[in-house]
C-alpha cells in the first residue's frame, strides 16, 4: 500500500497543528468585517502567520501566497498557497464545516495538498504522482460514470442561475474545503465552483487528480493552474467531476 512521503507527512503535522490553533483561537473569537463585507477573525490571522513561518522552514527558498496577508511571487523553490480558515463564517458562528487548506506549487504545477477539517477530525493529504490519503490511509479512486439524479452535486445559487440543468441534487456547505473534500470522498458526486482564488482550491485539486477525478472547466476545457498563478478570481465555472460524467455545458 502507498504511504505519504516524508515531506507530505510533515505537511500533515503542520496542517493538524494549524487546525488545533484555529480551534484555540475560536475560544476567544474576535470577528471583523473586511472591505468586501466578508468576515475575518483572529483565527484566520493567527493561523496564517504561524503557517508562513513553518512552511517556509519546511521548504527553504519557498514563499507564501495567503488569503489574509497577501500575494507573493513564487520563490526559487516554489510557493505555498494558504487559506488559513476556509469557511470563516461557519467557523465564526461555531459551525463544524470549515478547514485549513494548504497547497504547494513549483514551476506552475500544483505538487502538494493538505486539508485539515478540525471539527470533523479529517486530514486529507495528496502529492502529485504520490497518491491521496485520509487520516493516513490511501483513498479509493473516484468511480467514473454519470451523475445520477438522486446523487448530490455541490454548487451555488449563482451556478444554478446560469446553468439550470446541472445533474444531481443541489447542496452547498459554505466552504470550498468541505465541498471539495466531500466530492473527493464521494459524499458529493461532484462539485462545481466559480470565483475562488487558487489558494482556496489548490489542495483539493491535487487530491482530486490523484483519485482520478476529471478536474476541468465545465465547457470541457483544461483546468490549467499555470494560468491562475495571479491574484485574481477564477472567472469560469469549473468542477471536480467523475471521469466520463458526460457533463459538459458550452
Fold of the 6-138 domain = Fructose-1,6-Bisphosphatase; Chain A, domain 1 (3.30.540)
- The predicted-structure confidence for 33-85, as pLDDT tens digits, reads as follows 999 889 999 999 999 999 999 999 999 999 999 999 999 999 999 999 999 99
- The predicted-structure confidence for 71-108, as pLDDT tens digits, reads as follows 999 999 999 999 999 999 999 999 999 999 999 999 99
| Average pLDDT value for residue range 203-212 | 98
- The predicted-structure confidence for 108-160, as pLDDT tens digits, reads as follows 999 999 999 999 999 999 999 999 999 999 999 999 999 999 999 999 999 99
| Average pLDDT value for residue range 224-249 | 97
Q: Do domains 6-138 and 152-241 have the same CATH topology?
A: no
Sign of torsion, CA 117 181 113 89? negative
- The CA distances from residue 177 to 82, 83, 111, in Å, are 12, 9, 17
pLDDT at 98: 98
pLDDT at 250: 82
pLDDT at 2: 81
The full DSSP string for 182-214 is HHHTTSSSEEEE-S--HHHHHHHHHHHHHTT-E
pLDDT tier at 27, thresholds 50, 70, 90:
very high
DSSP letter (8 states) at residue 120: G
Q: Which helix (H) or strand (E) holds 157?
A: helix 157-162
Query: So where are the chain's domains?
Result: 6-138, 152-241
DSSP letter (8 states) at residue 67: T
pLDDT at 44: 97
Fold of the 152-241 domain = D-Maltodextrin-Binding Protein; domain 2 (3.40.190)
| Average pLDDT value for residue range 17-29 | 97
Q: 198 vs 36, which has greater pLDDT?
A: 198
User: What percentage of the chain reaches a pLDDT higher than 90?
Assistant: 96
Residue 1 pLDDT > 80, yes or no?
no
The full DSSP string for 82-119 is EEEEESHHHHHTT-S--EEEEEEEETTEEEEEEEEEGG
Contact 95, 79 (CB under 8 A): no
What is the grid cell recorded at 212? 482520478
Amino acid at each position: 500500500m502507498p504511504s505519504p512521503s516524508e515531506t507530505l507527512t510533515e505537511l500533515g503535522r503542520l496542517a493538524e497543528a494549524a487546525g488545533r490553533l484555529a480551534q484555540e483561537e475560536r475560544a476567544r473569537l474576535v470577528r471583523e468585517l473586511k472591505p468586501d463585507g466578508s468576515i475575518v477573525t483572529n483565527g484566520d490571522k493567527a493561523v496564517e502567520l504561524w503557517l508562513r513561518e513553518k512552511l517556509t522552514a519546511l521548504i527553504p527558498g519557498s514563499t507564501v501566497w495567503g488569503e489574509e496577508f497577501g500575494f507573493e511571487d513564487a520563490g526559487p523553490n516554489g510557493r505555498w498557497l494558504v487559506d488559513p480558515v476556509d469557511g470563516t463564517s461557519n467557523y465564526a458562528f461555531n459551525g463544524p464545516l470549515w478547514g485549513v487548506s494548504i497547497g504547494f506549487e513549483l514551476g506552475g504545477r500544483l505538487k502538494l495538498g493538505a486539508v485539515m477539517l478540525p471539527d470533523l477530525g479529517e486530514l486529507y493529504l495528496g502529492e502529485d504522482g504520490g497518491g491521496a490519503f485520509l487520516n493516513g490511509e490511501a483513498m479509493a479512486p473516484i468511480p467514473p460514470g454519470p451523475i445520477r439524479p438522486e446523487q448530490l452535486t455541490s454548487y451555488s445559487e449563482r451556478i444554478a442561475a446560469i446553468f439550470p440543468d446541472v445533474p444531481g441534487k443541489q447542496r452547498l456547505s459554505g466552504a470550498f474545503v468541505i465541498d471539495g473534500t466531500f466530492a473527493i470522498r464521494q459524499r458529493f458526486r461532484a462539485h462545481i465552483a466559480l470565483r475562488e482564488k487558487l489558494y482556496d482550491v489548490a489542495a483539493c485539486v491535487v487530491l482530486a487528480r490523484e483519485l482520478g477525478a476529471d478536474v476541468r472547466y465545465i465547457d470541457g476545457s483544461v483546468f490549467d493552474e499555470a494560468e491562475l498563478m495571479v491574484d485574481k478570481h477564477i472567472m469560469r465555472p469549473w468542477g471536480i467531476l467523475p471521469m466520463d460524467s458526460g457533463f459538459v455545458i458550452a
